[in-house]
Amino acid sequence: MADAMRIRANIVGDKVEVRVLMSHEMETGQRKDARGDIVPAHFIQNVTVTHAGKTVLSAQWGPAISKNPFVHFRFKGGKPGEKVTISWVDNQGDKRTDEATISGG
């Protein structure tokens, strides 16, 4: 299973600022290994961030996203102590869900 995400969620002004680091190889499917064989594509396809039962970010990714992706965004309506849940699913069906608690300004 994939490593845990590193998530930081802080109140900045009237918004919640979220920073997420994901551990993923993000193989494009175009690279060859030392033997000359194609390394199969392996990348995160769907990212969903939810807060209080609502989706606040939904993304569809492809092989152009870098290895170990970093996501940084803000959303309105979060309060300190509440949870933000982040999930991703990759093209091979691997998935990972982690959550973080919003901390005050």
Partner 1 sequence: MAKAIWIGFVALAIALPCFARAQQDTQKEIERYRELLQDGNPSELFEARGAEHWKTKRGPKNASLERCDLGRGAGVVKGAYVQLPRYFADTDKVQDLESRLVSCMVALQGLSSEEAKRRPYSGPGQPSVMADLVAWIASESRGMRIAPPQSHPKERLAYQVGEKIFYYRAGPHDFACATCHGEDNKRIRLQDLPNLTNAGDAQRAFGTWPAYRVSQGEVRSMQWRLYDCFRQQRFPELEFTSDAAIALISFLAKQAEGGTFEAPAIKR
Residues that bind partner 1 (CB under 8 A): 3-4, 6, 19, 21, 23, 25, 27, 31, 39, 66-68, 70, 72
Q: Which of 65, 72, 76, 67 is nearest to 86 (CA)?
A: 72
Q: How far is the CB of 92 from partner 1 (least distance, A)?
A: 13
CB atoms within 10 A of CB 17: 17
- Distance, CA of 49 to chain centre: 8
* 15: amino acid identity, one letter: K
Q: How far is the CB of 70 from partner 1 (least distance, A)?
A: 3
Q: How far is the CB of 91 from partner 1 (least distance, A)?
A: 15
In the bound state with partner 1, the residue whose beta carbon lies nearer, of 23 and 58, is 23
Beta strand ranges found along 3-94 (DSSP E):
6-12, 15-21, 44-51, 54-60, 70-76, 83-90
Q: How far is the CB of 53 from partner 1 (least distance, A)?
A: 27
In the bound state with partner 1, the residue whose beta carbon lies nearer, of 68 and 101, is 68
In the bound state with partner 1, the residue whose beta carbon lies nearer, of 67 and 79, is 67
